[in-house]
Structure 1
Amino acid sequence: MKTLIIGSKGFIGTHCFNHFIKQGHKVYGCDVVVDYTAKNYFLVDATNANYQDVFEKEKFDVCINCSGAANVQDSIANPQRDFQLNTVNVFSLLNAIKTHNPECKFINLSSAAVYGHPERLPVQENQALQPISPYGFHKKYAEEICLQFNSQFNIKTCSLRIFSAYGPGLKKQLFWDLYKKIEKTDTIELFGTGEESRDFIYIDDLVIAIEKVIKSAQFKGEYINVASGKELMIKDVSTIFIEIVNKTKSIRFNKKQKPGDPKNWVADISVLSSFGFLPNYNLNQGLTNYIKWIKNEKL
């Protein structure tokens, strides 16, 4: 199978690239990072990517879009940039596929941010979308573009609503911030009350989920939750993290809510499970691997 990874130098993209190479795919990468040594690699402009060129030169069986901005606070500070990277780029990709490679399956990595504050938990794919940040709205628009290209042009599309992904290679978000603060202070201050909850999925499980989707999804513009299906409170996962690092630290929650952050998330993963997906890593295993990576990299 010939597979193109858009955003192949990013956190999820790198893991996808390596995984599908191991699975025997002929994998091509595409990103904004200059790499003179990479084979089967397309360099594009960050804010004006020419995907017509990419699909004119090569034809693919699958295109996985791991690109885009993934920061809620940045989307509030610079919504136009976020719109370009998370919405306009998806349109550009699909337009190029329609023109040059209409048989290519397109997987768009969306986000749980499209749900905002869910009306009920665990959140199902058919629940009302109520995004509370520019990032969430832009991901929602991208999903609608995928649905439009399927219904009007028969392009095979599927959007994956990724919940809280973590693992080696990630240099932001809760666990990264925790590690950096552990190194600097005895009392760690975190946003919120600690009662907030998330559904964490380890990166190796995430790429397996994508593989299952390629094999089993209908590709009719549908959206699928990608998560572990387990709700964990931030105060609990923070304590587990500190225990694995083997440090004696205290945590103080400042009771301040970041704009655009929901309070509670956990996914209903019935659809993904029907494809044969079952998470292999619990939080302790995943965090142990992540912390080991940070220490080995001397970050």
Structure 2
Amino acid sequence: MTTSKRFNEYKGRSVLITGGLGFIGSNLAHRLIELGDVEVSIIDALLPEQGGNAFNIESIANRVAVHIADINDDYVINHLVGGVDFIFNLVGSVSHLESMLQPQRDLELNCAAQLRLLEACRNFNPHVKIVFSSTRQVYGKPVYLPVDENHRVSPLDINGIHKLAAEHYHLLYHKIYGTRTVCLRLTNTYGPRQLLHHNRQGFIAWFIRKAMDGDVIELFGEGKQRRDLNYVDDVVEAMLLAGASEAAEGEIFNLGGGEPISLSALADKLIEITGRGSVLSVPFPTERQLIDIGNFYANANKIKSILGWRPTTPLHTGLKRTIDFYARHRAHYWKPDANTVS
């Protein structure tokens, strides 16, 4: 079955995106609207510093239903899950460092919220399809490369532990209750609409900001760590394929699979594209070194084999698109809380 035909599964159907005003969720909303004849709803609490931004959906705001609410509110989530065909479950915190500083808060965002959603679905919409976004952080430091889904899991921080627990919740509900769940382990995702006014949600967006500002890009440990990167449009395609496929249900899939690049080479490429910025090697802060996973790149053969997905956006193309987006919309992303209310 071709990709276009598989995406016909969404025609005339309804979709709920949790965390839908954030980076990946808003890009997914744009793609669903582009497909046409899809009823799209979003729930997002617009918590400070988490990446939710009303501007992310400005151009499609009149074509999606937006609910500014907390997924931990039973009344709200019980109501919203009823009757929808697909849920893309992207809600939660992604900051590894903040999870170590505020572990209880991370527990609420990444575990308690997931259980509330799953319970709501079990009780009020048992046939809904749920695609859950997890993280490669569940693996911890790789024992071998590239990392496949059979690699042992040994997360190095609270966020990774909670994300792993959330994966198990989704898989348990599939096994015990027949809930139609699938888990995707995302690697380093980048692209338009990502939070970049602080550096606690990943290095790529922060590097992009520093280069665009003509500032110094600081590299911990000389930037020798090698990582694989996925452009957000490719990640969205993987999510749509997972949602449309019965074969994906009850499975875990790695994303990634692109050619790994060192952080220093990435910084150099950003400086080349922007024509600005510089690089400085600095000592690794202790609090970051303790939870750093070193080299990491994933084996994505499983999702390629079962769902036919592979990343298609060249790194230079993706970075250029991202930089061009922020150059046009800088005012909505450079300052904290620039667009956190609708």
TM-score (norm 1): 0.92
1:53 matched to 2:53: no
**2:322 is matched with which residue?**
290
**1:66 is matched with which residue?**
90
CA contact (8 A) 2:300 2:310 kept: no
Q: CA deviation at 1:256?
A: 0.6
Matched residues in 2 for 1:276 and 1:116: separation? Answer: 27
Q: SS in structure 2 opposite 1:193?
A: helix
1:20 matched to 2:46: no
Q: CA deviation at 1:228?
A: 3.7
Matched residues in 1 for 2:132 and 2:31: separation? Answer: 18
Matched residues in 2 for 1:106 and 1:233: separation? Answer: 34
CA contact (8 A) 1:116 1:262 kept: yes
**2:130 is matched with which residue?**
106
**1:195 is matched with which residue?**
224
Aligned CA distance change for structure 1 residues 186 and 76 (closer, same or farther; 3 Å): closer
Which structure carries more helix by proportion? 2
Aligned CA distance change for structure 1 residues 9 and 184 (closer, same or farther; 3 Å): closer
Matched residues in 2 for 1:88 and 1:102: separation? Answer: 19
CA contact (8 A) 2:219 2:264 kept: no
Matched residues in 1 for 2:65 and 2:216: separation? Answer: 47
1:215 aligned partner, one-letter code: A
Q: CA deviation at 1:187?
A: 4.5
CA contact (8 A) 2:255 2:303 kept: yes
Q: Pick from 266, 272, 280 the counterpart of residue 237 of structure 1.
A: 266
Matched residues in 2 for 1:6 and 1:187: separation? Answer: 35
Matched residues in 1 for 2:252 and 2:26: separation? Answer: 23
RMSD: 2.0
Q: CA deviation at 1:46?
A: 6.2
1:278 matched to 2:306: no
1:178 matched to 2:195: no
CA contact (8 A) 1:158 1:222 kept: yes
1:260 aligned partner, one-letter code: I
TM-score (norm 2): 0.81
2:21 aligned partner, one-letter code: K
Q: Percent identity?
A: 29
**1:11 is matched with which residue?**
23
1:170 aligned partner, one-letter code: Q
Matched residues in 2 for 1:93 and 1:188: separation? Answer: 39
Matched residues in 2 for 1:176 and 1:23: separation? Answer: 27
Structure 1 residues not aligned, in runs of 5+: none
**1:261 is matched with which residue?**
292
**2:279 is matched with which residue?**
251
Report Cα offsets for 1:106-164 as digits up to 9, x if no partner: 11100011011011111011211010000000000000101110111111111110100
Q: Pick from 200, 205, 212 the counterpart of residue 241 of structure 2.
A: 212
